[in-house]
Structure 1
Amino acid sequence: MNKEEIGNFLLRAILGVTFFMHGLSKFKGGLSNLAGWFESLGLPGFMAYAVGTIELIGGIALVLGLGTRIFSVLFILIMAGAIIFVKFGAGFLGNGEMAGFELDLVLLVIALHLLINGSRFFSLDSMLPTAKKKLNMEIIQ
């Protein structure tokens, strides 16, 4: 265990909790309402269900350290979509009517960091047989 792994764990845990909470709020607010809003933006309504589910399940998975890189890719795509289709017009800090894309960009970059570096500390992924075999091969080399 080193400082880098502890840092990766903290980023993974906070990103997971953040996405879980955002997904939970989407379900509580009604995904059908969100689907209507997506359609008003010119996006397919079913994407609201996909985004809410990915945020909820992916958030839990990140906290547990399960599929970190896979969910990081999905979170990058979600945040890129949020920036491009929703927040970019409001600017970096917002325009008084809507929040800017600063938080979305930070979440995107954290997910990108986890995609590149992974996070093995306190992760279920590191307990899987294939992950242990890979880790042993890294130690040998």
Structure 2
Amino acid sequence: MKKQEIGTFLLRVMLGITFLMHGLSKFQSGLDNISGWFQSIGIPGFMGYVVGTIELVGGIALILGLGTRIISALLIFIMAGAIVYVKFPAGFMGNGEGAGFELDLILMIIALHLVLNGSRFLSIDSKLPNHKKGQDSEIIAS
């Protein structure tokens, strides 16, 4: 087992936990409230439901290693939206009135790493019959 596989596994699980908690928070505070807030910043309200569901279900899927590349790609779009629509005006580190986009950017880069490299170690994806053995390492090598 390579150190890179363990490192990527840790990134996958921590990204999964982070988004699971953010999605859970959206559900606990009420998706109707999230939908209303999305509308107040110029995003269609239904996207609050979409984002909350992707974060909650996607977080669980990442922890389990199921659909890692697909979920990570969706999270990249969510983080890009968060940066552009919410965090960018506050700057990289924040402006005293709101948080900056440094954490969102880091989460987006971790998700990009998972899109590019996958994460086979302790993943359901690696156990699926249609998953080609060594597929992730071939992509890394190229």
Give TM-score, length-normalised by structure 1.
0.94
Q: State the shift of 1:95 in Å.
A: 0.7
- In structure 2, list runs of 5 or more residues that go unmatched: none
Alpha-carbon distance between aligned partners in 2 of 1:32 and 1:103, rounded to the nearest angstrom: 25
Distance 1:43 1:6, change over 3 A: same
- In structure 1, list runs of 5 or more residues that go unmatched: none
Residues 58-81 of structure 1 deviation map (CA, whole Å, 9 limit, x = unaligned): 000000000000000000000000
Residues 95-122 of structure 1 deviation map (CA, whole Å, 9 limit, x = unaligned): 1111000000000000000000000000
Aligned partner of 2:36 in structure 1 is 36
Q: Percent identity?
A: 69
Q: CA RMSD in A?
A: 1.3
Alpha-carbon distance between aligned partners in 1 of 2:121 and 2:134, rounded to the nearest angstrom: 15
Alpha-carbon distance between aligned partners in 2 of 1:29 and 1:96, rounded to the nearest angstrom: 24
Q: State the shift of 1:130 in Å.
A: 1.2
> Counterparts in 2 of 1:125-136, with a 5 A limit?
125-131=125-131, 134-135=132-133
Residues 4-32 of structure 1 deviation map (CA, whole Å, 9 limit, x = unaligned): 10000000000000000000000001111
Aligned partner of 2:66 in structure 1 is 66
- For 2:44, the aligned partner's letter is P
Q: State the shift of 1:84 in Å.
A: 0.4
Alpha-carbon distance between aligned partners in 2 of 1:60 and 1:17, rounded to the nearest angstrom: 7
Which structure has the highest helix share of the two?
A: 1
Q: State the shift of 1:136 in Å.
A: 6.0
Divergent runs of 4+, >3 A: 136-139
Give TM-score, length-normalised by structure 2.
0.94
Aligned partner of 2:9 in structure 1 is 9
Aligned partner of 2:24 in structure 1 is 24
- For 1:135, the aligned partner's letter is K
